[in-house]
Amino acid sequence: MKKVFVVTFLLLTAGSFAQSNNWQSLFDGKTLNGWKQMTGSAPYAVENGQIVGTTIPGSPNSFLVSDLRFTGDFVLELEAMMTDTTTNSGVQFKSNFDPKANNGKGRVYGYQYDFDPSSRKWSGGIYDEGRREWLYTVSNNPKGQIFFSPNVYHKIRIECIGNTTKTWLDGVPVSYLVDTLTENEGIIGLQVHSIGKPELAGIKMFWKNIRIQTKNIKAMPFPKGLYVSNLVPNKLTPYEEQSGWKLLFDGVSTKGWKGAGKPTFPEKGWEVKEGILKVLASNGGESTNGGDIVTTEQYSAFDLSFEFKLTPGANSGLKYFVTLNEQTQGSAIGLEYQLLDDTLHPDARAGREGNRTLASLYDLIKAQKTSRFVRQPGKWNTARIIVYPNNHVEHYLNGVKVLEYDRGSQAFRDLVAISKYKVWKDFGEAPKGHILLQDHGNEVWFKSIKIRELKK
């Protein structure tokens, strides 16, 4: 039975790459004609109709690049295989070469379709080599987390239309990126990643059936509901709107917001300017200037995404399931996605075991994050909170899940019992509530606040 499956798979794969007048082959299957190596010293060769790259010690990332530059829209398809799970690889597209970088050795930079054979399963994610790093982590799309099995060929599809890039792995939709960069041309390259340990030498990457379509392109549909990394501020794509996303901030007004416990938006303490919703600095206290603001609508199960930028030493938060029933002094009560400069603000060392740090469920659960995925004050970060209809909750920071919990579970109630929230009955278990942005007396910027309500 296993042999029948393999034969069927190969036949289907071969059929999917059948040539037509709309496609141009980039690899003749026999030579490296039309390709050149731009950086690194990892060897590339042709074996049995495949391009083979091999890791070696002491080399930076190596790229074998097509001589052709492509302008405008295109679809790139190929097959790829790796022999190990301890390194990664990828395909560059819409990329360029800076000959002056790395002390004159040069650098390839631009979009990369990532091959990640580790248990993380981020293959098909979009990485910006040499610039902004991860633009679409596959944690944002759990259904697209396909294991890049070693010693098996996988089908790659990259679709670039306008400022939108979509990717597929083995026919499964993975990434959806809408970018702000205007570069609309570049090179295509095959990466052999650098290795940090000599024992990782000799790992091979294989590519074949590399072809590109530049005419008569028809966008392949994505199923509704997949998360879009939309870098255009305060805008939704038609796909997002069809999937149920709505903007909570339109970039020009305070429509949909009011002061917490007030009938209207605060007259001071907040500012909308150049597409940014900004809480202004005052004295560092809770709600002592303009005060917190809340959505006029209430939400129960939802997928919420927003971008924020901290100033040095800043403290703020986004709260959810805010009912305004507690009549508190200072900030209103709710489950809080903590926004904090962990380096400079003392609150990062307060609480219990780091549960007041950036992206944590404030005073309850610490966010498990690495420094690579934290952008320091002065840079934009993307936060995401998902509350499922079954009350399972997840926090993300820059595309990486940093914590999860279940509202109303015994474990959740045990945490509340040893927190500052223990004085409020049934804290965090309201069936619905407002979304709140906190005025903690420090300047913090917000944009691209969007929400999708989730139904059972």
Partners of 197 in the β-ladder: none
Bridge partners (DSSP) of residue 235 are: none
The rounded distance, in Å, linking the Cα atoms of 170 and 222 is 14
- 């960069």: which residue's tokens? 181
Is the Cβ–Cβ distance between 341 and 313 less than 8 Å? Answer: yes
The CA-to-CA distance between both ends of the chain, in Å, stands at 39
* C-alpha–C-alpha distance, residues 177 and 226, integer Å: 11
Three-state SS string over 307-372 comes to EEEECCCCEEEEEEEECCCCCCCCCCCCEEEEEECCCCCHHHHCCCCCCCCCCCECCCECCCCCHH
Rounded to whole angstroms, the Cα distance separating 401 from 391 reads 17
The total of other beta-carbon atoms located within 10 Å of residue 319's CB is 23
212, 181, 207: which is closest to 95 by C-alpha?
181
Residue 116 corresponds to which amino acid? D
Contacts of 37 by beta carbon, 8 Å cutoff, 6+ apart: 44, 62, 63, 64, 65
| AA letter at 63 | F
Fold: same for 2-213 and 233-453: yes
CA atoms within 13 A on the CB side of 26: 27
Token pair belonging to 405: 């919990």
Instruction: Let me know: does 253 contact 276? Beta carbons within 8 Å.
Output: no
Q: For residue 12, give the nearest of 85, 79, 100 by alpha carbon.
A: 79
Residue length, the chain? 456
| Nearest-5° Cα angle at 380, 432 to 337 | 30
Decide: 435 and 304 in contact? Cβ < 8 Å. yes
pTM: 0.90
Q: How many helices (H) and strands (E) does the chain have?
A: 3, 30
> pLDDT at position 7, please?
32
Task: Name the burial class of residue 134, with classes exposed (0-12), middle (13-18) and buried (19+) by CB atoms within 10 angstroms of its CB.
Answer: buried
Extents of the domains making up the chain: 2-213, 233-453
Q: Are 173 and 226 in contact (CB under 8 A)?
A: yes
The matching CATH number, chosen from 2.60.120.560, 3.40.50.280, 2.40.30.10, 3.20.20.70, for 233-453 is 2.60.120.560
Strands 35-39 and 62-66: antiparallel
**What is residue 22's predicted lDDT score, i.e. its pLDDT?**
86
The Cα–Cα gap between 45 and 188 comes to: 17
Rounded mean pLDDT for each run of 10 residues along the chain, 456 residues in total: 33 40 91 94 95 93 91 94 91 92 87 93 95 95 94 96 95 96 85 88 94 92 94 97 97 96 94 97 76 96 98 96 85 95 94 96 96 94 98 97 97 96 94 96 96 93
CA 328 to chain centre: 36
What is the maximum alpha-carbon separation in the chain? 75
Using alpha carbons only, give the angle 355, 318, 349 rounded to the nearest 5 degrees.
25
What pLDDT was estimated at residue 5? 31
Residues with Cβ within 8 Å of 80's Cβ and at least 6 positions away in sequence, in order, are 89, 91, 115, 153, 154, 156, 205, 206, 207
CA dist., res. 37 & res. 396, Å (int): 38
Helix (H) or strand (E) holding 186: strand 185-192
Q: Are 92 and 191 in contact (CB under 8 A)?
A: yes
CATH classification code of 2-213: 2.60.120.560
